[in-house]
Amino acid sequence: MSATTVEAAPAVSLPPVSTFFQRFCKNRTALVAAIILLIIVLIAIFAPYIAPHDPARSSLRNILKPPGAMYWFGSDDLGRDVASRLMFASRLSLVASLQAVAIALVIGMPLGLISGYVGGWVDTVISRCNDALMSFPALILAVVIVGLMGPSLTNAMTAIGLVYAPRIMRVVRGSTLSVREEVYVRAARATGCSDARIITRHVLPNVTGPLVVQATVLMGQALLAEAGLSFLGLGTQPPEASWGAMLGTAFPYMAQSPVPTIAAGVVISVTVLCFNLIGDGIRDSVGRMRRSGD
């Protein structure tokens, strides 16, 4: 197995990072979404410095105040500043989503690689189990898993990670399968290249593209799922609050003070939209490279 044979293989992998960025930036929608997301992340990181009030401080004299100079989005049922709480809640929500996606990747990727690369009955068994797992409605499965583990944010994110692992598995398996049949891979195997080497040199680069797209979109989905679970009280437990939990606590008081509810909902929607658009942008940037025959 000479080095030249491997080096000569055409790179159907991720395009060079600089070209990728160039193409991505040409897509205006995706670029705007990325900037907005960046702003949200920065707010989350610097929340302690930019939040106008202490998010945990309640003031019984200022319950459910409408938005104004003092409380930008009004105050909640315990007199806490909604705007500050939203900023701090962003840390929980974003990190939680990251956690969930990480778990999904850790479980889904190896399974997808094995299933796609080894093939045969291993693939059949793993795929069938995967399909069966995907027959459970996502939210119901998450609720059941949380029910088995006890309600808490960590458990909720683990549950969501487990529920989404099959999707990652499918994407990885798909890419692995398509690469496995490429001529240069078969040539590499024929010349005695070790499986591990083939996987790292050829399969992984090919998988990264679709995987990154799927992971980005999944961040948005995980955010929605966490919001849902926290809204039901199955995720974040008080006194901590994520966006979903804030939505859940603001909801009973919606008639008197609608702004906190709307604010939380809009923030969630915008963030998810950004993830979706960025995912689309990545997909277009990577896809276009393949088509031009790089």
Residues that bind another protein (CB under 8 A): 128-129, 131-133, 135-141, 143-151, 155, 158, 220, 224, 227-228, 231-234, 247, 251, 254-255, 258, 261-262, 265, 268-269, 272-273, 276-277
To the nearest whole angstrom, how small is the minimum distance from the Cβ of residue 174 to another protein? 17
Q: How many CB atoms lie within 10 A of CB 112?
A: 29
What span, in angstroms and rounded, lies between the C-alpha atoms of 195 and 3?
15
The smaller minimum CB distance to another protein, of residues 127 and 206, is found at 127
Q: Are 153 and 242 in contact (CB under 8 A)?
A: yes
The smaller minimum CB distance to another protein, of residues 38 and 144, is found at 144
Tell me how far the alpha carbon of residue 209 is from its chain's centroid. Answer: 15
Q: Are 247 and 92 in contact (CB under 8 A)?
A: no
Q: Are 82 and 76 in contact (CB under 8 A)?
A: yes
The smaller minimum CB distance to another protein, of residues 69 and 255, is found at 255
Q: Which amino acid is at 42?
A: L
The smaller minimum CB distance to another protein, of residues 39 and 254, is found at 254
The smaller minimum CB distance to another protein, of residues 203 and 224, is found at 224
To the nearest whole angstrom, how small is the minimum distance from the Cβ of residue 191 to another protein? 39
What span, in angstroms and rounded, lies between the C-alpha atoms of 10 and 293?
10
The smaller minimum CB distance to another protein, of residues 79 and 265, is found at 265
The smaller minimum CB distance to another protein, of residues 141 and 187, is found at 141
What span, in angstroms and rounded, lies between the C-alpha atoms of 153 and 98?
13
To the nearest whole angstrom, how small is the minimum distance from the Cβ of residue 271 to another protein? 9
What span, in angstroms and rounded, lies between the C-alpha atoms of 173 and 107?
13
DSSP 8-state class, residue 45 = H
Token code pair at residue 182:
């490429």
CA dihedral 264, 267, 270, 272 (to 10 degrees): -80
To the nearest whole angstrom, how small is the minimum distance from the Cβ of residue 261 to another protein? 6
CA atoms within 13 A on the CB side of 186: 5
